[in-house]
């Protein structure tokens, strides 16, 4: 697998990154206005954090309560230990019910599981119905943002894509593009056998699932087909409906700057006798896939995330390299913690370094997750377990060799001071070899005499 640096290098400065920067800036401006217009936001953030941390501390109890409540209203629950078990359950269910066409609403969890691949390998047609996800699917691309999958695409590219793939005349008018997508999707909703959705929040007390979207596709996916399968990350619970409303207060404001997303759907069980809408069957697949391991480890706080995307929008690294450079389902600051924690720190050891630790993510996070501290913890762990990237381990080892031997350290400072005298301005404009990456965009301060040395010289002179 290529490294973060290699992926980032090939993306920086490209038109998709320019498009993504505009979108991310717009989202973060909208968030700032929404927060300013809502004085209780700080209090709500504290409450949302307390709810999420309390739920995580009692997750086994709330999961059991959720499963009982959902089964009590006629739903089916399946606990999947990993991606294979989750995908297998959905594939077997689809086979058993003679499913041919499946419509999907947006779900990062299904991206994490590669559920579409598993279903398509069994000959089923899977249609993404969120506009952004549909564009990603038609373009054979990957999402670059957790709430706006095509933040890296311009409307001109989308117009060309629709012309090519959907056989419609070219247009880059957003309203017309939306109309084209709606016309394309409507008959597919009406003929689909199964709808698959994600879950934003699950309520333990009532067995309800809450799905938040800005397009009507979520409602059609979960109510038009005869079977609804909801994929739920095991951590995405709250105890009660009242707790859910607190999360909703901070979610949309942090994500898009809206007071509430356009469609906030709360579903409790399948269609009951006499009800006009809804599926005959509702299956909720509760997916662990590494979450228990994260909960038991030092990065457990990241499971409080409500996937608003605010930390991506303000992150200077994400804004510069885009979402694909992170190489995983979850980009940006949240992904830099979550991906190595969920999967393999060895394989993803460069992601905790994909941050300047400026703290902007902590500043905006609606549940106040201390991402900079979690990133530092993971860096620490990767150094201790020797899984960190070579380019970081070697210089750190050399520094440790000098810093733990006073004689070597003083010699290094003296050499630095001599070298520093060569740069009259006090700044180094160009470094050779790997150092060139630093000086390409900024100057480096030339080494100066240590404070200790200057103190000695001053006292000697007085
Ligand atoms: S870590 Fe916080 S800011 Fe980032 S996506 Fe999760 S909830 Fe939103």
Give 101-117 as a DSSP string.
EEEE---HHHHHHTHHH
CA of 369 to the centre of ligand 1 (A): 7
Q: Is the CB of 304 under 6 A from ligand 1?
A: no
Report the pLDDT value the prediction gives residue 201, as an integer from 0 to 100: 98
State the pTM of this model: 0.88
CA of 140 to the centre of ligand 1 (A): 27
Q: What is the best residue among 200, 334, 342, 372 to mutate for testing ligand 1's pocket, by most ligand atoms within 8 Å of CB?
A: 334
Q: Is the CB of 307 under 6 A from ligand 1?
A: yes
Q: What is the best residue among 44, 247, 311, 333 to mutate for testing ligand 1's pocket, by most ligand atoms within 8 Å of CB?
A: 311
Beta-sheet strands, E only, within 94-225: 101-104, 125-128, 194-198, 201-203, 208-213
Q: Which residue has the tokens 């012309």?
A: 163
Phi/psi at 230 (nearest 5 deg)?
-110, 125
Phi/psi at 430 (nearest 5 deg)?
-145, 130
Q: Which whole-number Å values give the CA distances from 402 to 395, 431, 454, in the listed order?
A: 11, 22, 21
> In order along the chain (462 residues), what is the average pLDDT of each group of 10 residues?
88 92 96 97 98 98 98 98 98 98 97 98 97 97 96 95 97 96 96 98 98 94 97 98 98 96 96 93 98 96 98 97 96 97 89 95 98 95 77 76 86 82 82 82 81 80 58
Kindly report the protein residue whose alpha carbon is nearest to atom 8 of ligand 1: 308
Q: Which whole-number Å values give the CA distances from 459 to 414, 452, 454, 456, in the listed order?
A: 18, 11, 9, 5
Q: Is the CB of 366 under 6 A from ligand 1?
A: yes
CA of 190 to the centre of ligand 1 (A): 35
Q: Is the CB of 306 under 6 A from ligand 1?
A: yes
Euclidean distance between CA atoms 235 and 239, whole angstroms: 12
CA of 98 to the centre of ligand 1 (A): 39
Look at residues 281, 225, 290, 237 and name the one whose alpha carbon lies nearest to residue 73: 281
Kindly report the protein residue whose alpha carbon is nearest to atom 4 of ligand 1: 311
Q: Which residue has the tokens 């060569």?
A: 422
Q: Is the CB of 251 under 6 A from ligand 1?
A: no
Euclidean distance between CA atoms 134 and 104, whole angstroms: 10
Q: Is the CB of 103 under 6 A from ligand 1?
A: no
Q: Which whole-number Å values give the CA distances from 404 to 175, 408, 413, 448, in the listed order?
A: 64, 8, 14, 20
Report the pLDDT value the prediction gives residue 461, as an integer from 0 to 100: 61
Q: Give the count of beta carbons closer than 10 Å to the beta carbon of residue 387.
A: 17
CB-based contacts of 396-405 (< 8 A; 24+ apart in sequence): none
Euclidean distance between CA atoms 422 and 148, whole angstroms: 50
Q: Is the CB of 311 under 6 A from ligand 1?
A: yes
């Amino acid at each position: 697998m290529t490294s973060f640096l290699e992926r980032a290098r090939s993306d920086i400065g490209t038109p998709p990154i320019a498009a993504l920067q505009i979108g991310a800036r717009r989202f973060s401006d909208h968030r700032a206005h929404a927060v300013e217009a809502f004085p209780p936001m700080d209090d709500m953030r504290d409450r949302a954090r307390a709810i999420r941390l309390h739920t995580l501390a009692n997750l086994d109890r709330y999961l059991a309560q959720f499963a009982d409540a959902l089964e009590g209203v006629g739903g089916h629950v399946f606990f999947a230990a990993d991606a294979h078990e989750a995908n297998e359950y959905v594939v077997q269910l689809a086979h058993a019910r003679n499913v041919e066409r499946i419509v999907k609403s947006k779900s990062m969890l299904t991206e994490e599981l590669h559920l579409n691949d598993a279903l398509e390998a069994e000959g089923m047609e899977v249609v993404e119905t969120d506009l952004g996800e549909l564009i990603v699917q038609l373009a054979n691309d990957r999402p670059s943002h957790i709430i706006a999958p095509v933040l890296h695409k311009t409307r001109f590219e989308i117009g060309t894509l629709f012309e090519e793939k959907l056989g419609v005349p070219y247009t880059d008018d957003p309203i017309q593009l939306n109309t084209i997508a709606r016309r394309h999707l409507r008959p597919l909703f009406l003929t689909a056998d199964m709808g698959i959705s994600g879950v934003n929040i699950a309520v333990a007390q009532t067995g309800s699932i809450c799905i938040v979207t800005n397009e009507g596709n979520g409602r059609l996916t979960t109510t038009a087909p005869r079977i609804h399968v909801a994929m739920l990350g095991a951590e995405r619970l709250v105890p009660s409906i009242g707790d859910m409303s607190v999360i909703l207060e901070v979610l949309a404001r942090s994500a898009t700057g809206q007071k509430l997303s356009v469609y906030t759907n709360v579903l409790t069980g399948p269609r009951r006798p006499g009800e006009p809408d809804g599926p005959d069957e509702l299956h909720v697949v509760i997916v662990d896939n590494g979450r228990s391991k994260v909960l038991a480890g030092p990065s457990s706080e990241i499971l409080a995330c409500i996937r608003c995307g605010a930390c991506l929008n303000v992150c200077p690294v994400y804004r510069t390299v885009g979402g694909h450079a992170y190489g995983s389902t979850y980009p940006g600051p949240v992904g830099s913690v979550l991906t190595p924690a969920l999967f393999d720190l060895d394989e993803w050891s460069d992601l905790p370094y994909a941050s300047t630790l400026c703290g902007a993510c902590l500043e905006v996070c609606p549940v106040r997750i201390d991402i900079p501290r979690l990133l530092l913890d993971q860096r620490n762990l990767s150094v201790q377990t020797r899984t960190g990237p070579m380019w970081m381990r070697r210089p750190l080892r050399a520094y440790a060799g000098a810093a733990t031997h006073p004689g070597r350290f003083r010699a290094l400072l003296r050499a630095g001071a001599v070298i520093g005298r060569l740069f009259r301005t006090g700044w180094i404009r160009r470094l050779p070899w790997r150092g060139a990456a630093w000086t390409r965009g900024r100057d480096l301060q030339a080494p100066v005499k240590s404070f200790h040395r200057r103190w000695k010289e001053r006292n000697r002179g007085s």
